């Protein structure tokens, strides 16, 4: 699908919700040319799904608009700056996803069973540098504002699938795998909860817009009889209650986001502290267990009292 076709489809999806991006009406505008360039970069990624990705971008734009305050009856529009920013955010996420896809051409050397020769068998990219083929094939990223980036929790410094250390017992290894799975499930549940809150907020905003439109129609009728006045007052109260409910939902969503970000920062701090301590010579990630943390290789355990807590 061409960039021009992607922009046309994006405008249609937004128009279905009475939302528009005025600068895109002019194909010679800077906004139109910028989005064409961004869609061109998205289309070059192996994970880009054309219509499906355009629909996801439209939903992101609608969610952003619905979170902004708007007067009753006011046309819903998205500025050139916000349209480009949201598209760049999607491009950044898709580029990260493509860059993190495993490369089947890379041969992973076996780990040595002797600690003294571990560094000889350690993959060259375990220190943080990307594999040669991945660095060569990775597409150039479009700069994105720092405030728009979704920072990664931390960078994996060793193999994606660590090998079990030879001296780790079955009990320790099984508990380690169970704790890893529980951690992943918690992250998935938190992400699902945030998505549900966002969807509820979008629905609440749509209902508020519909009620505001109904209230405006009733105002224009200027009903004379008592029944019409009662309906008008009931619509006004319903619109007010809907606005208050949406504001509460927005506050709850922001609170949940702040809490999730706090948890991510704390875990990033702990992972950084554990790497600095140098307990695990392989540089594996650490998994939270009862009473402390254990490296993914299974050999090393550090108690909570040694790690400490962040502010």
Please tell me what DSSP assigns to residue 67.
T
Say whether pLDDT at 213 is over 60: yes
pLDDT value of residue 242: 93
pLDDT in tens, 102-159: 554 444 334 443 443 344 444 444 444 454 444 444 445 444 444 444 334 334 433 4
Task: Give the separation between CA 102 and CA 116, rounded to whole angstroms.
Answer: 29
pLDDT value of residue 71: 65
pLDDT band at 49 (very low <50, low <70, confident <90, very high): low
Contact predicate 91/38, CB 8 Å = yes
Task: Give the separation between CA 129 and CA 157, rounded to whole angstroms.
Answer: 9
Most confident of 128-137, 152-161, 236-245, 299-308: 236-245
In this structure, are strands 301-303 and 292-295 parallel, antiparallel, or unpaired?
antiparallel
pLDDT band at 55 (very low <50, low <70, confident <90, very high): confident
Q: Around Cβ 6, how many Cβ atoms within 10 Å?
A: 24
Tally of CA atoms within 13 A in the half-sphere of 189 that contains its CB: 6
pLDDT value of residue 161: 58
Please tell me what DSSP assigns to residue 27.
T
Q: What percent of the chain has pLDDT over 90?
A: 14
Average pLDDT of the residues in 238-253? 92
* 3-class SS of residue 129: coil
Which of 126-135, 249-258, 279-288 is predicted least confidently? 126-135
pLDDT in tens, 130-139: 544 444 444 4
Per the model's pLDDT, the better-predicted residue between 72 and 43 turns out to be 43
What mean pLDDT is reported for the chain? 78
At residue 289, φ and ψ (nearest 5 deg) are -130, 175
| Residue 223 tokens, joined | 């009903």
Q: Rounded to a whole number, what is the distance in angstroms from the first to the last CA of the chain?
A: 49
| Residue 123 tokens, joined | 């993959």
Please tell me what DSSP assigns to residue 127.
G
Task: Give the separation between CA 45 and CA 23, rounded to whole angstroms.
Answer: 26
Residue with tokens 């780790």: 168
pLDDT value of residue 133: 45
Per the model's pLDDT, the better-predicted residue between 10 and 145 turns out to be 10
pLDDT band at 238 (very low <50, low <70, confident <90, very high): very high
Contact predicate 167/222, CB 8 Å = no
Per the model's pLDDT, the better-predicted residue between 46 and 21 turns out to be 21
pLDDT band at 34 (very low <50, low <70, confident <90, very high): very high
Per the model's pLDDT, the better-predicted residue between 120 and 261 turns out to be 261
Task: Give the separation between CA 107 and CA 136, rounded to whole angstroms.
Answer: 16
* 3-class SS of residue 273: helix
């Amino acid at each position: 699908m061409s960039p021009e076709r992607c922009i046309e489809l994006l405008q249609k999806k937004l128009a279905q919700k009475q939302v528009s991006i005025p600068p895109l009406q002019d194909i010679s505008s800077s906004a139109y040319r910028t989005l064409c360039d961004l869609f061109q970069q998205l289309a070059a990624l192996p994970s880009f799904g054309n219509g499906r990705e355009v629909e996801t971008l439209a939903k992101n734009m609608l969610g952003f608009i619905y979170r902004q305050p708007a007067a009753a009856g006011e046309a819903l529009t998205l500025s050139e700056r916000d349209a480009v920013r949201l598209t760049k955010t999607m491009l950044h996420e898709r580029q990260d996803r493509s860059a993190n896809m495993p490369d089947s051409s890379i041969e992973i050397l076996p780990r040595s069973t002797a600690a003294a020769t571990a560094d000889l068998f350690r993959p060259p990219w375990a220190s943080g540098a990307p594999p040669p083929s991945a660095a060569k094939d990775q597409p150039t990223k479009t700069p994105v504002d720092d405030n728009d980036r979704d920072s990664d929790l931390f960078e994996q410094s060793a193999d994606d699938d660590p090998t079990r250390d030879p001296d780790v017992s079955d009990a320790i290894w099984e508990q380690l795998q169970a704790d890893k799975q529980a951690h992943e499930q918690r992250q998935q549940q938190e992400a699902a909860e945030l998505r549900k809150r966002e969807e509820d907020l979008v629905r609440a905003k749509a209902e508020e817009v519909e009620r505001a439109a109904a209230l405006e129609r009733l105002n224009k009728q200027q009903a004379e009889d008592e029944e019409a006045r009662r309906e008008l007052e009931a619509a006004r109260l319903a619109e007010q209650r809907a606005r208050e409910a949406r504001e509460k939902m927005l506050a709850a969503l922001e609170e949940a986001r702040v809490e999730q970000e706090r948890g991510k920062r704390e875990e990033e701090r702990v992972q950084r502290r554990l790497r600095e301590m140098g307990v695990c010579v392989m540089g594996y990630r650490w998994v939270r267990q009862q009473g402390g943390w254990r490296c993914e290789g299974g050999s090393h355990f550090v108690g909570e009292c040694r790690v400490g807590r962040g502010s």
